[in-house]
């Protein structure tokens, strides 16, 4: 111990106090009646009390010196008895931060996938054979702020100027991949009604005849569902789609609405029906790029020949009588453009899927046939599975296999040709084209 620091004697102080308290009562009893002796006793006690006070001051000074050297906050000399009991409060409240973190994590949902694909293309006549590779990555997150409000976003690879694809062609002398947000939204939940705003997930029941699977509209949508007592359900979806807005000049927008019905189980069958109307108002194409101008008819100034008021009906049937691993799904889609300025204004598609692709060992096979006339759909947002955006006839064959959890191996064969020689341009209407794809996708 440093000799310059007065010794700390808390034990001695407590001992003296205890001895003093123990001797007071006997002293008074023995000296009762002897006034002088009592005064002597009082004087001795006062001297002892003064000595104890000096010792206490010395102890406090020594404590302050030690605390200043240790860099800790000074403790009051006469700390109340409740102070030590308060010490456990800090450890007891410490789990509050982890609990809050755990609560936040429970309201966060993260998902995504990674796909690598090889593609081979050829034709029966004059188009050259081509082999290429593509890669796609997507990472999405959604967070429930409270019981009513959620926010979400998705990060994807691909050309940000092409809303129909998140695939990246492996080419360009090994240039790095482009990454962008294809979703950024806020959702309000009102019981059976959900409202999205921003760059939002596709709100409609659809097939790729009208809507490519990668298209995420920007604007405002509403989705309503109502369960019926018999096990069926009603649906209603709406969208205000901001396509191109200009500070000076016209805007391009779309207003769409869809109603639907899902039947209860009727034996091993279930049925569903959806009917939609999409009304486009094309007042500006300033924001359009080369990926948006596809095979619709155009005027010499680059504007569309036709308007686009699409009436779309989708009918579906599901059969479960062959077991849970072999469900059968049949879907038919018919679309008519009532604002077309040509008689090539309609399209249809039929898809059959047998099996599922969910658990390891699952198989699914599919066949689809579709036809779209040149102005049946707005090709800026229809599928891009083949080289023709409209004016095509197509057959599609597919096989999916799940080798491991969350992993799918797929093979697809598209066989297609131009539908009408009038709108085929330099393509040969009699030339059947083939596109083969093999892909491996891992999702989480």
pLDDT (0 to 100) of residue 90? 43
Contact between residue 334 and residue 313 where contact means Cβ atoms under 8 Å apart: yes
Residue 148 CA to residue 42 CA, distance in Å, equals 77
For residue 83 the two structure tokens come to 């102070």
| Alpha-helix residue ranges (DSSP H) falling in 71-137 | 82-86, 89-93, 96-106
* 405 class by beta-carbon count within 10 Å (0-12 exposed, 13-18 middle, 19+ buried): exposed
Whole-Å CA distances, 111 to 154, 185, 263, 348, 442 = 9, 16, 30, 33, 11
Give the per-residue pLDDT at 66.
61
| pTM score | 0.77
Q: What is the mean pLDDT of each run of 10 residues along the chain (444 residues)?
A: 45 42 41 58 73 74 64 44 43 56 90 98 80 98 97 97 95 94 98 98 98 97 98 98 91 97 98 98 89 91 95 98 98 98 98 98 98 98 95 98 98 97 88 95 97
Q: How many alpha carbons fall within 13 Å on the CB side of residue 249?
A: 10
Q: What is the pLDDT of residue 426?
A: 82
Please list, residue by residue across 125-154, b when 16 or more beta carbons sit within 10 angstroms of its beta carbon and e when fewer do.
Answer: eeeeeeeeebbbbbbbebebeeeeebebbb
391 half-sphere exposure, CB direction, 13 A CA radius: 19
Whether the Cβ atoms of residue 216 and residue 177 lie closer than 8 Å to each other: no
Q: For position 50, what pLDDT does the model report?
A: 73
Report how far residue 199's alpha carbon sits from residue 185's, in angstroms, rounded to the nearest whole number: 6
């Amino acid at each position: 111990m440093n000799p310059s620091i007065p010794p700390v004697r808390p034990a001695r102080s407590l001992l003296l106090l205890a001895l003093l308290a123990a001797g007071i009562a006997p002293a008074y009893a023995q000296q009762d009646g002897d006034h002088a002796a009592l005064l002597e006793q009082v004087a001795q006690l006062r001297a002892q009390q003064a000595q104890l006070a000096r010792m206490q001051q010395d102890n406090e000074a020594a404590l302050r010196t030690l605390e200043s050297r240790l860099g800790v906050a000074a403790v009051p000399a006469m700390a109340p008895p409740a102070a030590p009991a308060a010490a456990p409060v800090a450890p007891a409240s410490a789990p509050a931060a982890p609990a809050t973190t755990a609560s936040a994590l429970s309201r966060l949902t993260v998902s995504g996938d990674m796909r690598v694909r090889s593609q081979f293309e050829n034709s029966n006549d004059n188009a050259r054979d081509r082999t290429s590779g593509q890669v796609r990555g997507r990472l999405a997150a959604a967070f429930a702020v409270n019981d009513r409000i959620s926010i979400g976003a998705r990060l994807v690879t691909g050309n940000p100027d092409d809303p129909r694809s998140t695939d990246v062609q492996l080419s360009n002398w090994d240039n790095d991949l482009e990454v962008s947000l294809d979703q950024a939204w806020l959702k309000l939940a009102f019981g059976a009604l959900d409202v999205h705003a921003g760059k939002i997930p596709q709100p409609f029941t659809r097939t790729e005849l009208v809507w490519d699977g990668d298209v995420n509209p920007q604007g405002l949508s509403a989705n309503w569902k109502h369960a019926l007592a018999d096990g069926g359900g009603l649906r209603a979806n709406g969208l205000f789609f901001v396509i191109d807005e200009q500070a000076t000049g016209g805007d391009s927008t779309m207003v769409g609405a869809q109603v639907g019905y899902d039947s209860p189980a009727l034996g091993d069958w279930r049925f569903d029906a959806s009917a939609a109307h999409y009304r486009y108002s094309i007042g500006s194409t300033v924001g359009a790029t080369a990926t948006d101008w596809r095979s619709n008819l155009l005027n010499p100034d680059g504007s569309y020949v036709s308007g686009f008021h699409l009436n779309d009906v989708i009918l579906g049937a599901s059969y479960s009588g062959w077991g849970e691993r072999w469900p059968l799904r049949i879907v038919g889609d018919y679309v008519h453009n009532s604002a077309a300025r040509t008689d090539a204004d309609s399209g249809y598609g039929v898809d059959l899927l047998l099996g599922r692709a969910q658990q390891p060992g699952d198989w699914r096979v599919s066949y689809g046939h579709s036809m779209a006339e040149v102005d049946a759909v707005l090709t800026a947002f229809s599928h891009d599975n083949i080289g023709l955006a409209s004016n095509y006839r197509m057959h599609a064959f597919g096989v999916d296999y799940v080798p491991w959890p969350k992993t799918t191996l797929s093979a697809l064969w598209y066989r297609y040709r131009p539908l009408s020689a009038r709108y085929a341009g330099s393509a040969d209407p009699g030339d059947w084209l083939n596109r083969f794809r093999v892909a491996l996708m891992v999702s989480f």
